[in-house]
Amino acid sequence: MSESPRKGSGVILITLGTALVLTILSLPQWADGFRPQWMALTLIYWTLTLPTRVGIFWAWGAGLMLDAATGTALGQHALSLSVPIYLMLELHRRIRLFPPLQQTLSVWVLLLVERLLFLWIHGATGQPTPTLAYWIPPFVGMLLWPWVFILLRNLSRRFAIT
């Protein structure tokens, strides 16, 4: 029996845990609106790199953990993360052909989809509509994508994740 299908699952979990910590980490009030969507960026990378291992169930589980950590309604983040990851699964063969700088546009669209779904859930649960600053994090995530990609790629190469 080969051990390669499970190789690196711990590293994937650690990166998702790090993304969770970065998401709930306390920031100054002026910087809180610029907080990137760390969990979405991390899931997008792993889905792009390992589409047969990381997918919708990982996004759903990470979303539930994010819901529990942030105190939002159970399932909000799970749904808003699962749909962009599904889209990444469908488009990963096209997107992975591009270098990281050209992938930023695709990542930006996926981050916008995640924010749009989260906004829709906000409305469905009767929460107030956020201000225009709500749309800043996808732009920050788009700008950070090349560095997130390089960092996680180097990590996956270092630990030979397959």
At 5 the pLDDT is 55
At 1 the pLDDT is 43
At 162 the pLDDT is 78
Spans of the chain below 50 pLDDT: 1-2
- pTM comes to 0.93
Joined tokens for residue 92? 């990963």
What CATH code is carried by the domain that includes residue 50?
A: 1.10.1760
Give the H or E element holding residue 73. Answer: none
Instruction: Judge whether 89 and 55 are in contact, CB under 8 Å.
Output: yes
Distance CA 149, CA 104 (A): 10
Distance CA 110, CA 99 (A): 17
Q: Which of 140, 91, 76, 70 is nearest to 111 (CA)?
A: 140
At 6 the pLDDT is 66
Domain count for the chain, please give it: 1
Distance CA 107, CA 148 (A): 11
Domain hosting residue 141, numbered range:
4-158
Distance CA 97, CA 161 (A): 19
At 8 the pLDDT is 84
| Number of H-type helices and E-type strands within the chain | 7, 0
At 59 the pLDDT is 97
